Structure 1
């Protein structure tokens, strides 16, 4: 009987039960700066749903973030990958370091630029504004921590191999952080060493934040990015195990903060 049903479904084309994930570029602005974000969602789902803001790595909004946006949309989330640098600004090293440095040295600008993207996500008709999280990679990993430090009213943030250090005078105050925090860290990351990790954990504990910190043994910086190669001696490399485990950790975290049990 099952075989007959499968054959019938094949003839009728009923295996296409879900519409394709819709992906599109979204122009928006922050002050006089023109920005171009990326939106992904499953249009087969009806009504509002939990939403995820993605903050990109130091080279700007690119293929990595777009692929993750699609993966999150396939899980049922409404996803917007924000543009921090500006439309068309997608630098490579060493220019990427200079561009990222502008925002690391001006955390107020960094926070406000992310909030511009968050507002786009909040205003989208598919978003449940009470269920929003932010996810960031490397430079963006620091970014989502900054959103939490600023007391942004979202459910949680997930930092993948992100920097952790606060700017002078901008550490989180006691009771300031409302978003839950999940940091996913390469234990052998030479760019985020033990002193920075310890200072961050002390800051979060002093702020009475709800935080988790997961270290993946042997993983270095950029462990979720396949384009980073596999030479860990460079301090930047893809780690399939850490990538898969961190993705699962993120999903469990979302299930908690969005009360999806």
Structure 2
């Protein structure tokens, strides 16, 4: 693991952190308030299917300002960021269809995060956007050691066999009521799955919101059923903060 020169913005320290999962070199974006003392809760942030772009990095900086150690992780590999739907589908599909590889890369990021003295390794959560929300849910299903996860407009189905699922993390799903990529039947199936698992879960559905409602750049791709929604963005962020307060008493 190596760090690339830090950037200072007020009290927020940020840097790119290089780490490995097997032969794959990955590079995440770490941010935290360097005026605070002692170890503190950490939040991993999983990007959309485009790769590690500005949206998860902005979230990392917002979380750092709230006193968390935030790590926007890389699931694809250094430099893998695209505007191509076909390329994004290929990269994300390779991980969604290979849970073992997704877990390996996620856990490599977790190890890199926990190497920082400012991180309380007993209090780590994960959030994800779109593809990243799906990944967070799969990590929860796989029993990865997380206090909780938040999925923002993520897909809710799974390729993990149900008998291999072991959910310990608390789960918050923030979904758009009109999201064509998480339709009502998928939401119902997810809720039934959570009941069978005996999980601690909640689903919040935002009226009028479609896919990618938290990303203010969502509309630029011109994809039907994908659009920013300021109200749903604000409400879902507030729901996440309430969830974190419960998880971390912070």
TM-score by length of 1: 0.88
**Aligned mate of 2:76, from 69, 75, 85:** 85
1:155 — aligned with what?
147
Match of 1:94 in 2: 86
Secondary structure of 1:125's counterpart equals coil
2:229 corresponding residue in structure 1: 239
**Which residue of the partner structure matches residue 30 of structure 2?**
39
Residues of 2 paired with 1:167 and 1:37: CA distance?
26
User: In the superposition, relative to structure 1, how do residues 168 and 53 fare at CA in structure 2: closer, same or farther (>3 Å)?
Assistant: closer
Query: What is the alpha-carbon distance in structure 2 between the residues aligned to residue 168 and residue 47 of structure 1?
Result: 38
Larger Rg computed on CA atoms: 1
Given the alignment of the two structures, is residue 255 of structure 1 paired with residue 245 of structure 2, yes or no? yes
Residues 173-229 of structure 1, C-alpha deviations (whole Å, 9 max, x = no match): 4xx211100000000000111121111111111000000000000100000001112
Distance 1:19 1:167 in 2: 43
Whether the 8 Å CA contact 2:138–2:160 is kept in 1: the answer is: no
Give the C-alpha shift of residue 172 in structure 1: 5.9
Q: Distance in 1 between matches of 2:157 and 2:122?
A: 28
Q: Which of the residues 13, 20, 33 maps onto 1:22?
A: 13
Moved over 6 A (4+): 230-233
RMSD: 1.8
The aligned residue for residue 176 of structure 2 is 186
Match of 1:165 among 157, 176, 185: 157
- Residues 154 and 186 (structure 1), Cα distance of their counterparts in 2 relative to 1, 3 Å cut: same
| 2:67 corresponds to | 76
Confirm or deny that 1:57 pairs with 2:51. no
Q: Which has the higher strand share?
A: 2
Between the aligned partners of 1:201 and 1:136, the Cα distance in structure 2 is 19
Partners of 1:220 and 1:232 within 8 A in 2: no
Structure 2: 5+ residue runs without aligned partners? 1-8
